[in-house]
């Protein structure tokens, strides 16, 4: 199996935010009510089985070469409760990241530098979580 780096290159911005990186970002930052990452089976269930855990595993195994169809992207956006544009435009990805970082700041949390750590810190505050992420 050939290893393909998913690191950003000097290519266009669209090439840097591959489907694989977008899905990985959601897997690390869209946490459940207890602050845990969701399993592929849980995500599949959130699509009502229209995208199976096996299909998700196959997409992840393809790495940056994964290119799911539009319906799969829409179903996953619904499963993660994000705008479907998240899987299409870099602007939507940046807006998602910005909203997460702003929620972290608004809750006056400190110490977490990675986006995943910030998402975990927000999840640890269930009373403020929904309000923070929907403002």
The pLDDT confidence band at residue 8, using thresholds 50, 70 and 90, is very low
Determine which of 12-16, 39-43, 95-99 has the lowest per-residue pLDDT on average: 12-16
Task: Check pLDDT > 80 for residue 6.
Answer: no
- Where along the chain do its domains lie? 16-134
Q: How far, in Å, CA of 35 to CA of 104, rounded? A: 14
Render pLDDT for 77-89 as a digit per residue (tens, 0 to 9): 999 999 999 999 9
Q: What is the pLDDT of residue 133?
A: 55
Mean pLDDT of 116-130: 81
This prediction's pTM: 0.81
CA-based nearest residue to 97, from 30, 7, 37, 10: 30
Mean pLDDT of 29-34: 89
């Amino acid at each position: 199996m050939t290893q393909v780096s998913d690191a950003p290159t000097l290519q266009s911005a669209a090439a840097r935010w591959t489907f694989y990186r977008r899905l990985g970002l959601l897997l690390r930052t869209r946490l459940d009510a207890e602050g845990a990452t969701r399993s592929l089976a849980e995500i599949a269930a959130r699509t009502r089985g229209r995208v199976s855990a096996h299909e998700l595993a196959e997409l992840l195994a393809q790495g940056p070469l994964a290119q799911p169809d539009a319906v799969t992207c829409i179903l996953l956006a619904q499963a993660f409760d994000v705008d479907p544009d998240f899987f299409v435009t870099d602007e939507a990805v940046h807006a998602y990241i910005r909203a997460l970082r702003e929620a972290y700041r608004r809750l006056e949390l400190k110490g977490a530098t990675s986006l995943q750590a910030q998402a975990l810190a927000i999840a640890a505050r269930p009373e403020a979580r929904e309000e923070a992420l929907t403002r």
